[in-house]
Amino acid sequence: MKEKKASNYISIRESRKIIKYNIKMMRYYEKLKRRKLAESDYTVKMRDENNIVEIDGLKTCFFTDNGTVMSVNGVSFDIPKNKIIGVVGESGCGKSVTSLSIMQLVQAPQGQVVEGQIRFNSDAAGVSEDGKKLGYDIAKMPTKEMYKIRGKDITMIFQEPMTSLNPVFTIGYQLDEVTLLHDKSATKASAKAYSIELLKKVGISMPEHVYKSYPHELSGGMRQRVMIAMAISGHPKLIIADEPTTALDVTIQAQILELLRELQRSEGCSIMLITHDLGVIAEMADEVVVMYAGKVIEHGTAEEIFFNPKHPYTIGLQKSKPLLSSDANKPLYSIPGQVPNPINLPDACYFKNRCDKCMGKCRAKYPDTIELSDTHSVACYLYGGETSDSAETAEHGSSETQASENTENVQQG
């Protein structure tokens, strides 16, 4: 008897069951956001007071008509103070959804944070009785309380400034709004003066003219500078930059990145830089988080990730970079296969069908995170258990070659 082929077809009965489940879960999580909580209910101890944000086991999903899409599936990493953390990976790997979860901006009611902690190190939270620094768990925080943090302590620079700025209001009106919202002592005159000062700080010439302009009257680079000015207006502790240079040409990209680095130093804040451009990561980031299919698969310093990559996916990303010395007649390397369907993912390595080093245990259970050093970790069976020694030998050649290519690329850059 022939086996029945797997089908993506959903029957009417299954569709009704999914819709019923979605409505139930969406109502449940939306109710949690509206409930009234005392501050102590969402106040937690920070693991390290030198971290501005600590993400632990974060799960964010979307309830769709085809099933539950787990966009962020157990993500854990820290954002230290005064550091730039780069988050890199293919489109759809969960980078932007992770950042939106931190901001409580995941598109509701379909999108919901269902599990995990996002601990934000807030000065207002104070210190516990035993001397531990306290913070707020954003995952539990009511939406009304989040208004006090979002746009002031945690801000975001979006990917496309034209869709982020309101086309019917002037630049000055939108900048003043941020100041007036978070600073109750500010007047219209002081807010205007501060907005013009911010425009000067981000390198905009004729700030008084730009203050009166509408978004469509500015170029892409100037709109992005306005977004950066808006992001730093409240002296934030964390700026989330979601691919801030994607819509810009190369020369303007360099200017925006240099501006972000200067502001990070002068303002003393942290930056979570989300991008798929490894060149941007190499230039900007202190630490790098590599994501794939909603999980963190490798985490380390920029030097460790670029000169000693361990996960086969990270190595594949490095090989995909074009070099000046590359043969123009040969096509660029591309990782074979496709990202797995995020609905009903199996408890196994998500990269197994695309990996040339896949072994039997990769199909059994998702690998645990292995600590290679104090700063470098990887989720791969090649570096854990009985196969670790042989894996190190097998990887030595490819890692060494990759390191030399990366060194050459950095020198050329």
Candidates 149, 152, 151, 127; CA nearest to 139 is 149
Number of separate helices (H) and strands (E) present in the chain:
13, 13
Using CA atoms, how far apart are residues 371 and 380, in angstroms rounded to an integer? Answer: 11
Tell me the pLDDT tens digit for each residue of 338-359.
888 888 788 889 999 899 888 8
Question: CA 378, 119, 289 angle in degrees (round to 5)?
Answer: 25
Using CA atoms, how far apart are residues 386 and 217, in angstroms rounded to an integer? Answer: 62
Give 341-349 contacts, CB < 8 A, sequence gap 24+: 342/69, 342/70, 342/71, 342/92, 342/293, 342/294, 343/64, 343/66, 343/67, 343/68, 343/69, 343/70, 344/67, 344/68, 345/70, 345/73, 345/293, 345/294, 349/380, 349/381
What tokens were used for 321? Answer: 């970079």
Candidates 237, 56, 32, 40; CA nearest to 143 is 32
Q: What is the pLDDT of residue 390?
A: 40
In this structure, are strands 295-301 and 287-292 parallel, antiparallel, or unpaired? Answer: antiparallel
Site of tokens 């496709």: 338
Q: What is the pLDDT of residue 215?
A: 93
Q: What is the pLDDT of residue 211?
A: 96
Question: CA 273, 150, 108 angle in degrees (round to 5)?
Answer: 90
Domains and CATH numbers, the chain: 293-338+345-412 (3.40.50.300)
What region, left, alpha or beta, does residue 151 occupy, with left being phi > 0 and alpha being psi -120 to 50 degrees?
Answer: left
Site of tokens 């945690």: 154
Q: What is the pLDDT of residue 282?
A: 87
Using CA atoms, how far apart are residues 328 and 93, in angstroms rounded to an integer? Answer: 30
Q: What is the pLDDT of residue 7?
A: 58
Burial of residue 361, with CB atoms counted within 10 A of its CB: 0-12 exposed, 13-18 middle, 19 or more buried: middle
Q: What is the pLDDT of residue 9?
A: 76
Cβ within 8 Å of residue 157, ≥6 positions away: 224, 227, 228, 231, 239, 240, 241, 242, 244
Burial of residue 240, with CB atoms counted within 10 A of its CB: 0-12 exposed, 13-18 middle, 19 or more buried: buried
Cβ contact 379:289 at 8 Å:
no
Q: What is the pLDDT of residue 344?
A: 79
Q: What is the pLDDT of residue 249?
A: 80
What tokens were used for 239? Answer: 């700026």
What tokens were used for 125? Answer: 């939270």
Q: What is the pLDDT of residue 408?
A: 45
Tell me the pLDDT tens digit for each residue of 209-229.
999 999 999 988 899 899 999
Residue 185 is given by DSSP the state T
Q: What is the pLDDT of residue 401?
A: 45
* Segments in the chain below pLDDT 50: 1, 386-413
Q: What is the pLDDT of residue 392?
A: 42
Candidates 118, 70, 72; CA nearest to 94 is 72
Q: What is the pLDDT of residue 191?
A: 94
Please report the beta strands in 150-250, taking only residues with DSSP state E, as ranges in sequence order. Answer: 154-157, 238-242
Cβ contact 370:284 at 8 Å:
no
